[in-house]
Amino acid sequence: MAKRVAVVSLGCPSFAEALSKHAQGIEGWEFNYYPAQGLPNPHGNVPLGSTDVLWNVGLFFGVDTFFERAKAKYQIKIVNDWSGSDILGLRQVQAERPKCVQCITKSIDAHTCDWPSYKSELEDWFGIEASIVPSVPEWRPKLEPLPEKPSVLVYMPPAKQKYYYGEILKLAELFPDVPFHFIGDDAEKTLSRGNLFYHGYVKGDEREKIYKEASVALYFAVHGSFSAFLQEMLYMGRWAISTLRLPFCEYLPQDNLALAPSLLKFLLAKTEANAEGSKWMHENRTPEKVRGAVMEVLKKLEAR
């Protein structure tokens, strides 16, 4: 009988659901995604009695006691995929209550993360050894030509202070003839003005249409990740500026945001799609890569 992995998430549900699908086909293992329910028991729909591994993707804090109880009562093994916000959260705990770091992470049997910089932070800051499991979105659009008129697409969730919202508005003022489109926050859908256009949370055909009409993606984050938005734009062959060092993105140091106008001007002048970036994404950020990385984590769990 196949062993069962329950994939859960409060912070990154799209990546969690994608992981459960990408990992299908691993011999001897069955993966199921359980969408979070409302508080106070967001993971109450998980059949713990028939689960062998709980695989959490993002936002470990707040539900860490759930994993402790699952482990104590059912001897379930725990995998935690660390998000950027979790790493910052644990860093804050470390500064305020150093001994609590081990208390928080003691139930975790295997640690994973998406990117080498996260892996280094976990090891350097907390002594946590993590395996890299790429967070690959379900939607991986094909290379598309750039639109005739250049425009900018910005991912801006509700936590705007963590995504340099004010700085991006100032940047838009410097390019009054360039449309700046914002996605990610339904509360702002009525605020379009000037060259600022707000679309809220988008998916399906609407998302694809907005992506195709953009030539440059902006992803400014205090402690960003290789977000689904940025990956999807790169799959499509769009140019990008990011505050995280990522392949085929122009890097914007957070201590030198004054570089943003010159970087954006450079990318807006592009007339051809980012074909090399799209090729790299379609060859290196694949379900097969996810499946192989997950298999290695499961092997380590079985060897414990």
pLDDT value at position 231?
A: 97
Which stretch of DSSP H or E encloses residue 18? Answer: helix 13-22
* Alpha carbons 88 and 152: distance in angstroms, whole number: 29
Percent of the chain with pLDDT over 90: 73
Instruction: Map out the domains of the chain with their CATH numbers.
Output: 3-136+286-303 (3.40.50.2000), 152-283 (3.40.50.2000)
pLDDT at 63 over 80: no
| pLDDT tier for residue 105 given thresholds of 50, 70 and 90 | confident
Write out pLDDT tens, residues 134-190: 999 999 999 999 999 999 999 998 888 889 999 999 999 999 999 999 998 766 677
The residues, ordered by sequence, that sit 6+ positions from 81 with a Cβ below 8 Å of its Cβ are: 12, 15, 19, 55, 56, 57, 58, 112, 113, 114, 133, 135
Least Cα distance to 121 among 129, 272, 214 occurs for 129
Percent of the chain with pLDDT over 70: 97
pLDDT value at position 187?
A: 66
The token pair that represents 278 in the structure block: 């799209």
For the entire predicted model, the pTM comes to 0.92
Indicate the average pLDDT of the chain.
92
pLDDT higher at 104 or 291? 291
pLDDT at 86 over 90: no
Write out pLDDT tens, residues 32-60: 999 988 777 888 899 999 999 999 998 77
Q: What is the mean pLDDT of residues 251-258?
A: 96
Q: What is the mean pLDDT of residues 194-204?
A: 93
* Alpha carbons 105 and 47: distance in angstroms, whole number: 23
DSSP string, 192-261: -BTTEEEEES--HHHHHHHHHT-SEEEE--TT----HHHHHHHHTT-EEEESS--TTSEE--TT-GGGHH
Q: What is the mean pLDDT of residues 268-283?
A: 98
pLDDT at 256 over 90: yes
pLDDT value at position 185?
A: 77
